[in-house]
Structure 1
Amino acid sequence: MSATLLVSPASARVMPDLYDVREAVASRGNTDRADATARGLERVFVRVTGDQNIANNPKVAPVLAQSQKFVQSYRYDSDDNQLYLQLAFDPQAVNDLVHKLQLPLWPNNRPGTLVWMAVDTLQSGRDTLRQEDYPELFGLLDGLAMERGLPLDFPVMDLNDQRNMPLGSLWAQDEGAAERAGVRYRPDATLMGRLLQTSGQRWQANWLLIHGGRSYAFDASGTTMEEVALRGVNEAANLLAERYAVHSSDTGVASAVMVEISGIRSFAHYSQATKYLQGLAQVSSAEVLAVDGDRLMLALNSSTELKTLQNVLALNRNLQLARDDGLVDLSGYRAPLGSAQNPLRYSWQ
């Protein structure tokens, strides 16, 4: 079997376990369970809001004290003589609470992010970071991705990857190389990091997040390679959450956005498109207004900003942005984007 067959493409995906946590406890007593449940709900709030500092919000502390009200089920298990409490919080109850407290809500359809990393150590010099060489580091990154609710993928670094993303290009954070090397993975976002050991106890990292036609550069420093790597993924999660989180106070009033989708050539296409749009957290309703040949016209009721809605729709690979040909009359007037005269136009692939 060739190595390429083992590659699982990154893509926007629904995160299924945002509301489930596992907490270490000293006993099965009520006090230990209550404390663990509060810690668990705090972790869920971080995942659901996208805000890693959400516990510092004064609105949240009183809720954590009542965390057991939001538990759907729990059970105990043990591992290496350590007792754990498995908690499943009620997703609808948590989401309703987030809305009530006017906190941001990061819907569970999130951008798959491909992470490339290179390291430069005082002892060994410069090299590409591979999972097989640094299993503990990549294990920590997987754990952090779970805590933030961010789907991460790592390149397999076979000959194909080494040819498309040579070490020099990775260290230079070459966006062209990232695009070429990412073809086989089809990520929604790409995160490139170069981790530099500056002294025996200091590390510096430079990060570049590429997503949605934009690039975001940021730095991290710390005492270990693991620390600066984790900080890089944390900041990437912060930036993506900021882009996609729904804020209750964005507008507060739902409005209709017209969307036209071409390429609907079968009932299966129709069902897939409408089911997807009706299931978006940013959309309160998706009403089919007309079907004309292979074209579908819908009205999406949403209280989020138009740009946020466009960002979310871009996460679906089946929806490809169509040519912008909104009509402009002789006076130069252009119908507002999202209106009946100038709908958001997509083609179904």
Structure 2
Amino acid sequence: MRLLILGVLMLALTAPTWAGSEYFSAQVPVASQSTADRKTALVQAMANVLIKVSGSLDAPATELGMKAQANAGSYVQQFRYIQPTQTMREQGIALLLKADFDPGKVRQLLKESGQGVWPMNRPQALIWAIEDTPERGRQIITDPEHPLVKSLVARANERGLPVLLPLWDLDDQILLSEEHLWAQDEEAILAASTRYDVNTVLSARYSQTSAQQWYATWQFHHAGERRSYDYNTFDASELGAVGVDPLVAFLAERYAVQSASDENEHLQVMTLNGVSDYKDYDSALDYLAKQPLIQQVALVAVRDNQLVLHILLSASWAQLSDALALDRKIRLLNPPEDLQAEAMLGAPGRPAQFQWLGR
């Protein structure tokens, strides 16, 4: 029964933490419903949204970002007050304000300030965690309410990173032992992660001394790349941000769309193979038209199972390929071997060739 209940709790976290519209919303503490307190709270909410949408902690500190915070009310579509939970009340939070900001205005602000815009289609990160404390010894963290895991999830929400936690059922226990997770055994962790169908995995290892000092090591894997980093502190509340922020910075740098002048945007040629019937044809065109890295898409010709398209990119082919790989519906065929080859990709004589997988 315990495993069943735990499984239900974990399954609730296997979906993205919030819908795409929540990238443009923020919930912050507010002292009262007075006009002055509301304006103060909206400044913080605006800063939070700029960070989530751009993926950068620096976005609120730009000149335009600071002006926008000072005039945050003009970006708000709606706001409402929310009563805090009992835990929040115990922390001294009397009231919450949730504000929804205009997506178009926020994107335009970031573009004008030279910041990137991280599309709503983002990698979802699977989190594995283990701790070693004087009181409890070494144990894998299976409780989503455990402070160390909860702080990671909370920080991921603040940064706009969808996360999920493992079920820690019998299958997980067979594939990933306590020893393997403590050693941050890459092969074992990735093997246990396969069932969750993710391409981003974060493992966290925490050790507390008898003097109450925390030593933490994190390791993340994404699309064949790995990064490791560590930190020590007496303040456990710092560990959520330190654990999540390097992963978000890595992903945002890879997937955020950087502002481009109109002069640098131009039509390029793309072929899409494997479009075998009308259903594929309709689905493929609709899917490409909704991609934030593609400004325009136009069908030029249909040749057997291949579509010839003109597209207007707002990013590089490498960025587009990485973004498309997240959904696993389209993949790039014959990736360019070097920067010179990539620069030529999309020219009339060398169209970018993709394969429609249509999952």
Q: In the TM superposition, what is the alpha-carbon distance from 1:17 to its structure 2 partner?
A: 0.6
Separation in 1 of the partners of 2:247 and 2:98?
28
Partner of 2:129: 117
Kindly provide the amino acid, as one letter, of the partner of residue 337 in structure 1. Answer: L
Q: Which runs of 5+ in 2 are unaligned?
A: none
The corresponding residue for 1:160 is: 171
**Greater per-residue helix proportion:** 2
Contact 1:319–1:348 (Cα < 8 Å) also in 2: yes
CA deviations on 1:219-260 (whole Å, 9 max, x unpaired) are 222224453244111221111111111111599611334333
Which residue of structure 1 lines up, in the alignment, with residue 267 of structure 2? 256
Secondary structure class of the residue paired with 2:83: strand
- Structure 2: distance between partners of 1:235 and 1:211: 13
Q: Say if 1:299 and 1:170 are closer, same or farther in 2 by CA, change over 3 A.
A: farther
Alpha-carbon separation, structure 1, partners of 2:18 and 2:28: 26
Q: Deviations over 1:8-30 (max 9, x none)?
A: 86789963311112232223222
The counterpart of 2:292, out of the listed 278, 281, 300, is: 281
Rounded Cα–Cα distance in structure 2 between residues aligned with 1:10 and 1:335? 37
What do the CA deviations read for 1:180-232 (whole angstroms, capped 9, x no partner)? 21221011211112122245232222221111221122222222445324411
Q: Which sits farther off after the overlay, 35-44 or 200-209? A: 200-209
1:216 aligned to which of 224, 227, 233: 227
Q: TM-score when scaled to structure 2?
A: 0.84
Map of 1:74 onto structure 2: 79
Structure 1 residues 251 and 196, CA gap change in structure 2 (3 angstroms): farther
Q: Helix, strand or coil: the match of 1:184?
A: helix
Q: Secondary structure at the match of 2:195?
A: coil
SS in 2 for 1:196: strand
Give 2:193's aligned amino acid.
Answer: G
What does 1:290-309 correspond to in 2, within 5 Å? Answer: 290-309=301-320
Determine whether 1:151 maps to 2:162: yes
Whether contact under 8 Å (2:23, 2:49) holds in the other structure is: yes
**Could you list the per-position Cα deviations for residues 120-161 of structure 1 after superposition, in whole angstroms to 9, with x for gaps in the alignment?**
2233332211125x5343333332222111000110111101
Report the counterpart of residue 108 of structure 2 in structure 1. Answer: 96
**How far apart are 1:276 and its partner, in Å?**
2.1
- More displaced stretch, 103-112 vs 171-180: 171-180
Q: Would you say 1:18 and 2:23 are equivalent positions? A: yes
Secondary structure of residue in 2 paired with 1:23: strand
Question: Contact 1:50–1:148 (CA<8 Å) still a contact in 2?
Answer: yes
Equivalents in 1 of 2:62, 2:134: separation in Å? 41
2:43 to 38, 42, 47: 38
| 2:126–2:164 CA contact under 8 A, matched in 1 | yes
Identity of paired residues, percent? 29
Of 85-94 and 287-296, the range deviating more from structure 2? 287-296
**Which amino acid in structure 2 is aligned with residue 318 of structure 1?**
K
- 1:247 maps to 2:258: yes
**Structure 1 residue runs without a partner (length 5+):** 327-332
Q: Distance in 2 between matches of 1:129 and 1:224?
A: 19
Matched to 2:344, the amino acid is P
Which TM-score applies when normalising by structure 1?
0.87
- Cα distance between partner residues in 1 of 2:82 and 2:307: 50
